[in-house]
Amino acid sequence: MTARAPVIASVARPLIRPLYLAYLGFILAVLYFPFVVMTILSFQGPRGGHTFPLRGVSTIWYWKLFNPGKLTPYSDVGEFLGDYLASLQRSVVLAVITMLISTALALMAAQAFRRGFKGSGLVFYLWLLGIIVPGITVSLGLSLWFRRMDLPLHWLTTGLPVHVMWTLPFSLIIFLMFFNRFDTSLEDAALILGATRWKTFRHVTLPLMQPAILTSLLFAFTLSLDEFQRSLLITGTDQTLPLMVMASVTTRITPTLYALGTLTTLLSFAVVGAYLALLTYSLRKSRRLVEGSSNPRGSR
């Protein structure tokens, strides 16, 4: 580089930091400002619409959310009267079952992948297909097949396989990433001291894996809670929350949707908050475990 470059750099340097920070602020604003607007509009007055201006302030849209199907003096013909809370309940049940199955199956498979086995590359890419294959394709293919087989469509029985199929690869990747940075010295010590593989796994590996397990649970839960592309055509009449949201968006948008969005966003924040609290706790515990074994190499 020429001699001029450092000169330019020294002139520009004091500006670079504030510029970067301003840019970060801009990105955060893009990510969060719409939420703020949505929350404000969820308190829209009873005669107001889904955009500004605010025509008064009310909690009627929240009331409608909790009292589905009940008409008010303000109800009009095209109003979407679906029971969002029932579908939220279905979605949460489905997400909890999905996260447990997904984490358990991926945890098992990750042990095999760590050790390596014949054809592990091929099997890994097979799992990856769950993410890669477009959701609408899965939905279409399965719905046609279920109908051909005369299987009744139901959010739990036909929905669960698809939800787990979608979250499994994520869980596996989380565990593989964890083992990429994993120090095996504690496991080796246990094996050398005569512990069986099972005992080593149960008493050494599994406690150390707690952060990864929590992460997998979080990913599987939230991915399932939000899944709509794969379950679009296969949940039958009782829809999950995202599908009901989709249906109402394509018919008519009311501030009820914003009330729902505000509540579910708060729910998501609560879930992430709980995850972070548990994660800090488990990280501290596993660090104590490592230090307690007086590992000369210290942490990690």
> Which 89-148 positions form the footprint of other proteins (CB under 8 A)?
105-106, 108-109, 111-113, 115, 117, 120, 123-124, 126-142, 144-145, 147-148
Packing angle, helices 206-226 and 159-180, rounded to 10: 140
Instruction: Considering the complex, state which of residue 115 and residue 297 has its C-beta at the smaller distance from other proteins.
Output: 115
Tell me if 290 contacts other proteins by CB under 8 A: no
**How far, CA to CA in Å, does 169 sit from each of 96, 97, 102?**
17, 16, 9
Minimum separation from the CB atom of position 294 to other proteins (A)? 27
The radius of gyration of the chain from alpha carbons, rounded to an integer in Å, stands at 25
Report 257-276 residues binding other proteins (CB under 8 A).
257-258, 260-261, 264-265, 268-269, 271-272, 276
Pick the stretch among 76-84, 205-213, 227-235, 289-297 that binds other proteins (CB under 8 A). Answer: 227-235
Minimum separation from the CB atom of position 91 to other proteins (A)? 10
Q: Which residues pair with 44 in a beta bridge?
A: 57
Tell me if 57 contacts other proteins by CB under 8 A: no
Pick the stretch among 62-70, 73-81, 253-261, 288-296 that binds other proteins (CB under 8 A). Answer: 253-261
Report whether 160 contacts 94 (CB < 8 A).
Answer: yes
**How far, CA to CA in Å, does 194 sit from each of 184, 197, 221?**
16, 9, 38
Pick the stretch among 25-33, 72-80, 281-289, 291-299 that binds other proteins (CB under 8 A). Answer: 25-33
Q: Quick one: which of 47, 52, 71, 184 contacts other proteins (CB under 8 A)? A: 52
Short-list 44, 38, 10, 81, CA closest to 251: 81
Identify how many contiguous H helices and E strands the chain contains and give both numbers: 11, 0
Tell me if 277 contacts other proteins by CB under 8 A: no
Q: What are the backbone dihedrals phi and psi of residue 56, each rounded to the nearest 5 degrees, phi first?
A: 85, 175
Short-list 51, 18, 41, 113, CA closest to 262: 41
Tell me if 225 contacts other proteins by CB under 8 A: yes
Report 164-193 residues binding other proteins (CB under 8 A).
164-165, 168-169, 172-173, 176-177, 180
Tell me if 72 contacts other proteins by CB under 8 A: no
Instruction: Considering the complex, state which of residue 11 and residue 27 has its C-beta at the smaller distance from other proteins.
Output: 27
Burial of 122: CB neighbours in 10 Å, binned 0-12, 13-18, 19+: exposed
Instruction: Considering the complex, state which of residue 38 and residue 60 has its C-beta at the smaller distance from other proteins.
Output: 38
